[in-house]
């Protein structure tokens, strides 16, 4: 299987993220090229996009629950990376 085919297969499912309330998860990396554009979470009461001290995109845990978050990588019209963010109590 080619690397491209493997990446497309992996991209079919959201990247699973598990964090605690108040904790940050760095969104940039293997699945998202940064600077990221247009970050959004379906339920901002569970998790929200924010920036860390370096100005990089993070998903921040707000309250317990699960939501999907996504951002476009590199340019506003780029393919979106989707994350399934589960937030647990501290």
Cα–Cα distance, 9 to 46 (Å, whole number): 27
- pLDDT class for 85, splitting at 50, 70, 90? very high
Q: Is residue 7 part of a domain?
A: no
Domain total in the chain: 1
What contacts 13, CB < 8 A, 6 or more positions away? none
Domain extent at residue 22:
14-88
CATH code of residue 82: 2.60.40.1080
Distances from the Cα of 2 to the Cα of 7, 30, 47, 73, angstroms: 9, 17, 34, 22
Asked if pLDDT for residue 9 goes beyond 80, the answer is no
Q: Is residue 9 part of a domain?
A: no
* Beta pairing class for 80-88 and 15-20: parallel
Task: Write phi, then psi, for 9 (nearest 5 degrees).
Answer: -65, -45
At 3, list the tokens: 């690397």
Please compute the mean of the pLDDT values over residues 39-67 and round it to a whole number: 95
Q: Is residue 27 part of a domain?
A: yes
Q: What pLDDT does 79 receive?
A: 83
């Amino acid at each position: 299987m080619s690397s491209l085919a493997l990446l497309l297969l992996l991209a079919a499912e959201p990247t699973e993220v598990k964090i605690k309330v108040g904790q940050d998860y760095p969104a940039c990396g293997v699945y998202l090229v940064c600077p990221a554009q247009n970050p959004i979470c379906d339920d901002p009461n569970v998790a929200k996009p924010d920036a860390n001290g370096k100005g990089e995109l993070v998903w921040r845990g707000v309250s317990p629950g699960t939501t999907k978050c996504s951002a476009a990588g590199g340019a506003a019209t780029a393919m979106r990376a989707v994350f399934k963010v589960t937030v647990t109590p501290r």
